[in-house]
Amino acid sequence: MNKTFFSLLGALATVFLLMSFMQPGGGNIATSVKRGQVVYNKVCLSCHMADGGGVPNMNPPLSQSSYVLGDKKRIIGIVLNGMTDRVPIDGDYYSNNMAPHNDLNDQQIADVLTYVRNSFGNKASAVTVAEVKAIRNPKKK
């Protein structure tokens, strides 16, 4: 094999590596996580705690939670609309009301959810602005 082949192979590997950190629609996960941490510290920390552990029977933990790691539509909807129901999450019930945070813009919601889905021991795909917009403004049929 010649140097040109290995140079091309190295360049392609670099492009694929860089693309793996890109979110659909632009930006990268690390940047989104960093912005999301700022939103989390301002809006979410007082109820879900610095470690994402929540408060037993009041505010659910965000660490390894099926709500956090599961369907993105559900968690986006909770941030936008809040939650007032007593809900079972991973075997425990939580009953503290969560206010809607529809005052946050789509980018802030995508970032904070990307932060939560990639913090506290979680590892999940990013939430995109397009996914938030789709839940905030569903198309009328």
CA 59 to CA 107: how far, in whole Å? 24
Residue 103: predicted pLDDT: 97
Q: What is the pLDDT of residue 141?
A: 47
Please give the pLDDT value at position 139: 83
pLDDT score for 140: 55
- Residue 77 makes CB contacts below 8 A (sequence gap 6+) with 135
CATH placement of domain 25-136? 1.10.760.10
CA torsion sign for 103, 28, 63, 123 is positive
Residues in the chain where the model's pLDDT stays below 50: 5-6, 8-9, 11-26, 141
